[in-house]
Chain A
Amino acid sequence: EVQLVESGGGLVQPGRSLKLSCLASGFTFSNYGMNWIRQAPGKGLEWVASISSSSSYIYYADTVKGRFTISRDNAKNTLYLQMTSLRSEDTALYYCARHRGAMGITPFDYWGQGVMVTVSS
C-alpha cells in the first residue's frame, strides 16, 4: 500500500525557517517524481515544487522560488521541503504527492494527509 506521511510542521515566526519531511512507503521511491502542494486556510490548492526521481529536474512556484528548496534522499525514502524567510502567507496545510512516473507529464496519483505550517508572531 502506497503511503506518504508528512511531518515537521508547526508554529514558526515570520522570517524563520522550517523543514518538512515526507516519508514514503509501499513503493520504490527512487522511481517516482514527487511534489509539494499547499492549501491556505479557506483557499484553493497551490502547487509549490516538484523534483524528478533522480533530482535532475526541479521546479518551483514563483511564490516560493529563492526561499524554498525541495530535495530528496532516495536511500531514506524521504522527500524534503526546506522553507526559509517564512511569511504569513506561507501559512497552509502542506501535502506531498507522488507523480505517476519519474516525472514528465504524469499525473499526481497518491497524496499524503498533510502537515500544517503556521507562520505567526
Chain B
Amino acid sequence: DIQVTQSPSSLLASLGERVTITCQTSQSISNNLNWYQQKPGQAPMLLIYYATSLQTGMPSRFSGQYSGRSFTLTITSLEPEDIANYFCLQHYSAPYTFGAGTKLELK
C-alpha cells in the first residue's frame, strides 16, 4: 500500500500570510494526488487535482506543486474563508490512501 505522510497536522497562520502544506508518498505516483478542503459539517471540496491543476471555481490563491514524491499545497495569501481542514489523496492505485489532514487556524 502507498503511504501518504502529511505535514503539519495543524497550522496557525495570519490573514494575508503564505501557507504551505506538504504530502509525501512512500512510492512514486507521478502526479496522481489531489488536495481537498473540508469545513465542519460540509462535504470535502476538490481544490487541486493531478497535483497542479486548479479545480474550476476555486480561487487562484490556491496552487499545487510536486517534485518526485513530495507534493505541496500553497495558499499565497490567507483569507478568512480558507480556515478549514485540508487533506491530500493519492488516486494512483487502490487502496487509495489519504494524508492525515492539516487543521488550519487563525493566529
Contact = CB atoms under 8 A, between A and B. Distances in A.
Contact of A107 (B42, B50, B93): B50
B100 interface: yes
B98 interface: yes
Interface in A52-80: 59, 61-62
Contact of B95 (A62, A100, A107, A108): A62
Contacts of B89: 45, 107-108
Given A47-B94, A47-B95, A61-B95, A107 B43 contact: no
A109 B91 CA distance: 11
Nearest to A109: B46
Nearest to A104: B91
Interface string A88-113: 00000001010010000111111111
A113 B94 contact: no
Interface residues of B, number: 24
Contacts of B95: 47, 59, 61-62
Contact of A110 (B46, B50, B97): B46
Interface residues of A, number: 23
B32 A46 contact: no
Contacts of A109: 46, 49, 55
A62 B97 CA distance: 13
Interface of A: 4, 35, 44-47, 50, 59, 61-62, 95, 97, 100, 105-114
Given A110-B43, A113-B43, 20 more contacts: A35-B96, A44-B98, A44-B99, A44-B100, A44-B101, A46-B98, A47-B97, A50-B94, A50-B96, A59-B94, A59-B95, A61-B95, A105-B32, A107-B46, A107-B89, A108-B34, A108-B89, A109-B46, A109-B49, A114-B43
